[in-house]
Structure 1
Amino acid sequence: MHSPGLRGATQACFEGCCPNPIFRVLELDQANVKNRSTSSTCRHDFAATTNSSFFPNTQFTNHESIPSLQESFVQFIKAYPKYSETAQVDQIRAHEYVHLSESNHVCLDYIGVGLFSESQSQSQYISTSAIASSSYPPSQKSDCPVFGITYKSVNLKSQLLHGGDGSKLESAIKKRIMDFLKISQNDYSMVFTANRSSAFKLVAESYPFQSSRKLLTVYDHENEALETMINTSEKRGASVMEAEFKWPRLRIHSAKLKKMIVRKKQQQKHRGLFVFPLQSRITGTNYYYQWMIMAQENGWHVLLDACALRPKDMDSFGFSLFHPDFLICSFYKVFGENPTGFGCLFVKKSAVPNLEASTGAGIVSLIPAKQLLRFPEDSSGTDTELEQISKLGTYPDGIDISSSLATSITEQNKQNRNSKEGDQKDAGLKENRLEDSEKGESNEKNKTVDELGSLNFECRCLDQVDSLGLRVISSRGRYLINWLVSALMKLQHPNRLDNASLVRIYGPKVKFDRGPALAFDIYDWKGEKVEPVLVQKLADRSNISLGNAVLNHIWFSEKYEEEKQRVMERNGKEREKKRTKSKKAEPGITVVTIALTFLANFEDVYRLWAFVAQFLDADFVEKERWRYTALNQNTIEV
């Protein structure tokens, strides 16, 4: 699957919107013209093959009649014979992410890139067990994080100018991430943030909106991180503008966006901040990055949101051609587990002097797991120690470090009161064990904090992605997401004269260069929408994790005015609260969402298809309600 950046570099302009396009010279090159023609043919052939190869001229009206996993896979391989060239991904998944098979869980609810493999994190858990063995119940030992975070009370501008590289652990991870993203440390400074929202808020708090007053965003969905930025920016005097997307394909309304970007002669030199994702993390729609070039040519500072990009997409983005002023991305720890991690905010060094002083809330430091657990087991549990513990954060899956450590200390104090003399002997034994453990940390498995900062520091998931390369990752994602789209479109309600589809897909359907995300809704036999939250809950009971979102900023032409009345939904109270003075939350469309990571396989997408097919049974939802009541003596919340 070609990335937005690669596609943009071979297409000089789009809909005549780009003044003085930097790639115009390429259009004069006959070789490039030929390449574009070949690419266009390839994309057309791909779509035709997808639509005709999977059980052609067949509609499925009964969930019991859909082909088996084995039958479907045979058809899938016939349509995409080159899928076998991605078998290395399956080998990595089998050896490094065993928990995905053992848990029988399909994870389709978040997108992005992990840092570590599951097997690597397990070895890290083992390396801390000598320290934590007596202080934690067995059920909590496996939840030991590879690292934790602590908040820093520091000004963003000062941190960028004088913060340095941080600890050796932070320096090692920072270097690995910048190498992975192909970002030069000579051109950009980086800070770790608590999450994606924190990174957006930091920019909003520091950007000079007093002199560059506008904020222009390009998102087809409600977005917590973006709403945080908008609200913060408005409080600092920014004027907010938002791009719109044409129904039904949800492409950018180019004429309107161009009008907002292009500067009139009498307007100030620096217009404001242009916030742009190269891909919708909800619908999978790709956007041309020439929009950012146009914005910079017209006096905008540009923030590139790279959180929705697939692994290795930055390889083809090409920082030699375009340098955004800000770049935000995020990394989680291990795929298939609670996606805790951190956000990354990159600021072009030439843009740092333009920033204003801010509180810097949201900047974090990374703390090795061993440091989190390095509390003597005979600790007296003083107020100072408990205060230190409270600052350490939480484990994955919501386990509170402060609570778990404090509980350990409380239990230890009880033992001290019950048998002081016995505890003194135990304390001596524990001290010896701790000393032995610390001595053992010098070997390869138990690296010290200093060793974590060495060149041997491993982010095995990033290493795996690098070894696979862009072609394998993008091709695999292209085959899986397009097969799923085609399969979902073949589900039709029975006994309907109008051939009513079970599923409505928003944004691109079968398309060569669509992203690995998908937004859809399910409609029952009466044509009524099944609430996405209910679909999400029922999927969870089938061990499938889905997401949900709200599409907005949708523009309807007069041709679709009647359809607009059917599909758009009014504001909910929670959505209404998110907006401040600029405008109230607009009507939107609630949708079910999925995202495929590079580790997704055919069984994952087949299981989702088989789950959705069950809604062809008119009584499926009601049966599930009764089954839930029988098992739990409770009714499912709708």
Structure 2
Amino acid sequence: MAFMNISEDDYNMVFTAISSSFKLLADSYPFESHRNLLTLYDYENEAVKVMIESSKKKGAQVRTAEFSWPTLRIQSGKLQKKIVSKKKRKRGLFVFPLQSRLTGARYSYFWMSMAQENGWHVLLDATALGPKYMETLGLSLFKPDFLICSFFKVFGENPSGFRCLFVKKSSTSVLNDTTTASSIGIVRLVPAIKPSQHSEESSIADIATGSKANLELSLADILRAASGNPELEYRGLDHADSLGLILMSARARFLVNWLVNALMSLQHPHSENGQPPISIYGPKIKFDRGPAVAFNVFDWKGEKIDPALVQKLADRNNISLSYGFLHNIWLPDKHEEESWTLDKRKSGGGSILNEKRDKPHSGISVVTAALGFLTNFEDVYRLWAFVSRFLDADFVEKERWRYKALDQKIVEV
């Protein structure tokens, strides 16, 4: 809590498993009386998807922000109408991320302030922020009702990641008792020990289940569970502290902007329709952007290469990429000819109670590269060099044959 500049006088804290924080809050939030859930995500987030499904079962009306194509900027006017209402009623829960994990787009605190002024409870999603950045949150000014943050590779030993759910003490009374929370994983952290000291009673992480009362585990209680005078090691945070925020921010900004510029400079030697080999979605070269890039690779015929295949080939070359699905996209008339680039998916919306059926929605599957605070120039250069290999018209086919030559029967994508 000290690392995040959060006062114990203002917030309670719960350690949760990576996928549990959003569902835990959704199961406890009174959507029966505060019927609205408003989210702001330009990509498909599995944890938020689970929250939406849980809230719908409790009768919530789910709405989401829309994003312009292809910049993926927020449709400000539409979002403002969803936040502001002349009717005086209990609004509901506004889920606001500071940054897109896929595109690197950053969003203004203005939206959170507007929601608070119009009677919404606010969940601030800081999971896309890396070490050191979380302590710069403007919590003293805005004080969201709920805050979820992610600690990835913070400790020197496993587990490499967990999440924290912070609940403002003045908002605790809003939450309801729930029996469904009994199946949600709560993480108990204890100090790492040497293998010779390992016993059945001590472990690096203990996934526990229980009712709402079981969630109130204090850090002091957790620390008292190892023997002697244990100390938790924060190697990742210690390293971030040694670098400092200014150096980390500057390096991440230079690296991500170099990568974007280098990817956009690639050209097919012989292209049939002038389609560039790389399309980037969201912010491009920009001073204030997050260290993540969402893009797709196109062959010399202008056909998109499956992002899952790009990720698999990158993995084979010891390069860590991910792929996801951008959605909630608003396509203006002047970009109607680009609608062929969008995919159709089932939204997963609608519940059995009101007999609504799933509706297809437009989006696009993309490759995403995320830069961490340990990323250096060699890393981004190796990524660019890997992507440039797709300029070879036979690169993908060569990789398939190479896979078969190794006596592998299936190219797993």
Give the TM-score band, short-chain normalised: 0.7 to 0.9
The structure having more radius of gyration, on CA atoms, is 1
- The alpha-carbon distance between structure 1 residues 498 and 633, as it changes in their structure 2 partners (threshold 3 A), is closer
Paired residues of 1:201 and 1:225 also in contact (CA < 8 A):
yes
- The alpha-carbon distance between structure 1 residues 338 and 526, as it changes in their structure 2 partners (threshold 3 A), is farther
Letter in 2 for 1:296: Q
**Selected match of 2:9 from 183, 186, 189:** 186
Task: Tell me which residue corresponds to 1:343.
Answer: 163
Matches within 5 A, 1:13-412: 178-195=1-18, 197-264=19-86, 266-268=87-89, 270-333=90-153, 340-359=160-179, 360=181, 361-370=184-193, 374-375=198-199
Paired residues of 2:343 and 2:362 also in contact (CA < 8 A):
yes
Unaligned 5+ segments in structure 1 are 1-177, 377-384, 394-446
Partner Cα distance (1:448, 1:635) in 2: 47
* CA positional deviation for 1:312: 2.5
Partner Cα distance (1:603, 1:191) in 2: 38
Paired residues of 1:199 and 1:362 also in contact (CA < 8 A):
no
* CA positional deviation for 1:450: 4.1
Partner Cα distance (2:156, 2:407) in 1: 26
Matches within 5 A, 1:461-476: 461-476=236-251
Partner Cα distance (1:336, 1:609) in 2: 30
* CA positional deviation for 1:322: 0.9
Specify the SS of the correspondent of 1:241.
strand
Letter in 2 for 1:452: P
Specify the SS of the correspondent of 1:250.
coil
Partner Cα distance (1:346, 1:334) in 2: 18
Letter in 1 for 2:383: L
- The alpha-carbon distance between structure 1 residues 371 and 263, as it changes in their structure 2 partners (threshold 3 A), is farther
Of Structure 1 and Structure 2, the greater strand share is in 2
Specify the SS of the correspondent of 2:258.
helix
Paired residues of 2:155 and 2:235 also in contact (CA < 8 A):
no
Partner Cα distance (1:336, 1:253) in 2: 42
Partner Cα distance (2:65, 2:80) in 1: 10
Partner Cα distance (1:204, 1:491) in 2: 45
* CA positional deviation for 1:234: 0.6
RMSD: 2.5
Specify the SS of the correspondent of 2:33.
coil
Task: Tell me which residue corresponds to 1:617.
Answer: 392
- The alpha-carbon distance between structure 1 residues 624 and 334, as it changes in their structure 2 partners (threshold 3 A), is farther
Specify the SS of the correspondent of 1:252.
coil
* CA positional deviation for 1:336: 11
Partner Cα distance (2:295, 2:159) in 1: 23
**Selected match of 2:229 from 447, 451, 469:** 451
Partner Cα distance (2:171, 2:296) in 1: 42
Letter in 2 for 1:560: H
Partner Cα distance (1:287, 1:623) in 2: 42
Partner Cα distance (1:213, 1:448) in 2: 44
- The alpha-carbon distance between structure 1 residues 256 and 529, as it changes in their structure 2 partners (threshold 3 A), is same
Task: Tell me which residue corresponds to 1:570.
Answer: 344
Partner deviation per Cα, 1:471-523 (whole Å, 9 max, x = no partner): 11110000000000000011111123754311110001111111101100000
* CA positional deviation for 1:314: 3.1
Specify the SS of the correspondent of 1:358.
coil
Paired residues of 1:189 and 1:347 also in contact (CA < 8 A):
yes
Specify the SS of the correspondent of 1:586.
strand
* CA positional deviation for 1:369: 4.2
Paired residues of 1:368 and 1:449 also in contact (CA < 8 A):
no
Letter in 2 for 1:569: D
Paired residues of 2:13 and 2:164 also in contact (CA < 8 A):
yes
The answer to whether the aligner puts 1:550 opposite 2:325 as a matched pair is: yes
Q: How many residues align?
A: 387
- The alpha-carbon distance between structure 1 residues 477 and 336, as it changes in their structure 2 partners (threshold 3 A), is farther
Letter in 2 for 1:193: T
The answer to whether the aligner puts 1:588 opposite 2:358 as a matched pair is: no
Matches within 5 A, 1:385-534: 449-453=227-231, 457-496=232-271, 499-534=274-309
Of Structure 1 and Structure 2, the greater helix share is in 1
Letter in 1 for 2:247: V
Partner Cα distance (2:135, 2:50) in 1: 30
Paired residues of 2:44 and 2:325 also in contact (CA < 8 A):
yes
TM-score by length of 2: 0.88
Partner Cα distance (1:458, 1:494) in 2: 52
* CA positional deviation for 1:570: 1.8
Partner deviation per Cα, 1:99-118 (whole Å, 9 max, x = no partner): xxxxxxxxxxxxxxxxxxxx
* CA positional deviation for 1:579: 4.1
Partner Cα distance (1:339, 1:626) in 2: 38
Partner Cα distance (2:301, 2:30) in 1: 53
Identity of aligned residues (%): 60
Specify the SS of the correspondent of 2:129.
coil
Paired residues of 1:481 and 1:596 also in contact (CA < 8 A):
yes
Specify the SS of the correspondent of 1:611.
helix
Paired residues of 1:227 and 1:579 also in contact (CA < 8 A):
no
- The alpha-carbon distance between structure 1 residues 633 and 249, as it changes in their structure 2 partners (threshold 3 A), is closer
Partner Cα distance (1:600, 1:337) in 2: 20
Partner Cα distance (1:505, 1:517) in 2: 11
